[in-house]
Structure 1
């Protein structure tokens, strides 16, 4: 029988940070009664199987109104399809309505979740061995994991308490160039970031675009949480402020519709010019990468998402009012529970203006071993912040998520966390 050395496998297989999500899922499966303040998934009760058929029928009606007959509609939903997807025009309309982003439908690639969008964008823009990407740190592990799989170096840009600072981005980019590397892009989540919960002020967003222009950086803007602020204050995306097409916008319907659809997208409207002067859009060029990954995104899932967009008047904000209200209540519940339980003690936390996550600094080593004790002996799960650092950090901090629970469970989860820390 063949035996393989684990050390001989690719770093993305054996790296502990890359395996962090599997570890959390494994702990949760062994302690199913534990309250999970670790899971960043949407609340289950918002999803109904009946919505799938409802939105599918809405999309089929849309196809009939466009003049497609039964045979063509059947083919569109059941056969291999266009690599970049068949609902790009509907997503473009949604971006215009909700985010004031005006792009042609051809600039939209529909992907199998936002994770695929990250892989495609990274593979397309990083072509040489010296190409690296900068990323706000702490950073979503899905992005650092995608880069690790592709063998692309991620250079962290440390966040401050109020988020990424443009001067820090400029300094890190200059240092990278001084080392003989080529910084190609900056990845960030400007609205209620995972894991830090930080949201950038508008002035900082504009300054980041200016720094990116000076440093010749593309920006990979990931925006899964922008709908879920504690208030209705407008928070313009970097893409909506993007005057010179420097931003590649990454989106997902996981939080705003349901994760099981596995539909995400990227907006890449940057012009690409070849040696003969032929001009195309970056989204078209990236289609060759996607065609070798997933061929095309599930046509049925696209149809269901397309029907939802049609039924909502192309506004995710309008379609998500109940979710927005629920997640606001949950975040306020979590912050109030922390205040009530820990007060002015040695445990401290940040106070995000929206999203799903709060970072708590604790006077203990927040290790995987402690998480095991927490789940087994105290019945509560959380995420070690060290998972979100490229080269060390976050050892005495944890991320709490409030999205998947009801308020009484959040209160009880915080009570159990306090018991763990007392022990």
Structure 2
């Protein structure tokens, strides 16, 4: 039997994110009775009573009555491979225009297998590491984007994230450092609303400043809009793509949090023209790449998402509103429980942030929040969390953990925080 040498496998397979996900899943399986603040998954309530067949039928009805297809043509769309660009582009395009102020035609969108595939396709299309291209990311950063960059061999540079989003002065400095080293900062990844895991949110002024900096320094902005829907009503800010007048922003979204993750449907808005190829957009290039990655996003999954959109008047806002209310409630409850239960009780050096939206709270400890400490927390105290090290490019996350509020109900959050307090009191206090 052939034995493969690890040294002959790609370096990305030994990346911290891949090992961390596997470890967390293994710990959760060994301690099923522990209260888990680890997964950033949607609340299971929202799939209760979901009638997938009804959603599919609603989408088929749309194809027949709104797009003029015969019933047989409509049914065949669900059974065949389908176009790599997607089936529900028109519905998504209209929803983005209506709810987000993003005016992009259907042909500027590619419907992807989750946001993760969108990131992979965009990075592959844009970056030529041999030409000196560098990707800037916030630090801490969603491990999916840094993991995808690692798989593709793309150099990554980190820029500090504050409570108000990416440090723009730090980003400008990163551009200058890259240029001094004979490289080019090709694109910057940001989540302008409640990033994972940092929780930062950019002000309107900083959004404008980022676009001005992108124009001045000639880089693209990869905008991840996963958690924007959790914004308090009346406090919404336009996505970067809605403010983009220079074609600098590539907008990535997902239906995982507002519908359900099992559908695996995301999208990317890539309306940038390709020079020298009249009528060709970046979206066309991404669709071409997709034909050799996943061929197409499963039509049945797209039909379910399309049907859900149609049932809510074609509005992303209407579709996401009940979910947003639950997640805001959970986040407020988690922060309140931490404040009530931990303040004045736990050791000095334990602190946490208070984001206004999203799924996550970060906590800082005076000791390393590593796998060994998580094992103690799970085995002896029945509470799970996520070490933050996997979200940082250096060792600055070693003393931090992430708490997710999305998957739990208030009573479980309350019990989990009490267990966390006991764990911190007895283990960290010593």
TM-score surpassing 0.5? yes
Alignment of 1:20-419 (within 5 A): 20-48=20-48, 50-65=50-65, 66-129=67-130, 130-274=132-276, 278-344=278-344, 346=348, 347-419=350-422
Aligned-pair distance for 1:49? 5.8
In structure 2, what is the Cα distance between the partners aligned to 1:349 and 1:128? 37
Q: CA RMSD in A?
A: 1.3
Secondary structure at the counterpart of residue 397 of structure 2: coil
Contact kept in structure 2, 1:108 and 1:265, CA below 8 Å: yes
Secondary structure at the counterpart of residue 55 of structure 1: helix
Secondary structure at the counterpart of residue 338 of structure 1: helix
After the TM superposition, which of the residue ranges 73-82 and 117-126 deviates more from structure 2? 73-82
Q: C-alpha deviations, 1:53-78, integer Å up to 9, x for none?
A: 11111101101102211221122111
Contact kept in structure 1, 2:200 and 2:355, CA below 8 Å: yes
In structure 1, what is the Cα distance between the partners aligned to 2:320 and 2:233? 14
Q: C-alpha deviations, 1:366-405, integer Å up to 9, x for none?
A: 0111111111111111111111011221111111100000
Runs (5+) with no aligned partner, structure 2: none
After the TM superposition, which of the residue ranges 219-228 and 340-349 deviates more from structure 2? 340-349
Secondary structure at the counterpart of residue 271 of structure 1: coil
In structure 2, what is the Cα distance between the partners aligned to 1:99 and 1:123? 27
Contact kept in structure 1, 2:129 and 2:154, CA below 8 Å: no
Structure 1 pair 7/374, CA: closer, same or farther in 2 (3 Å)?
farther
**Structure 2 length normalisation: TM-score?**
0.95
In structure 1, what is the Cα distance between the partners aligned to 2:194 and 2:113? 23
Contact kept in structure 1, 2:367 and 2:399, CA below 8 Å: yes
Q: C-alpha deviations, 1:84-111, integer Å up to 9, x for none?
A: 1111111000101110110010000000
After the TM superposition, which of the residue ranges 68-77 and 80-89 deviates more from structure 2? 68-77
Q: C-alpha deviations, 1:238-264, integer Å up to 9, x for none?
A: 000001111000000000100000000
Contact kept in structure 1, 2:85 and 2:296, CA below 8 Å: yes
Aligned-pair distance for 1:363? 1.8
Q: Number of paired residues?
A: 421
Aligned-pair distance for 1:160? 2.5
**Structure 1 length normalisation: TM-score?**
0.97
Aligned-pair distance for 1:154? 1.2
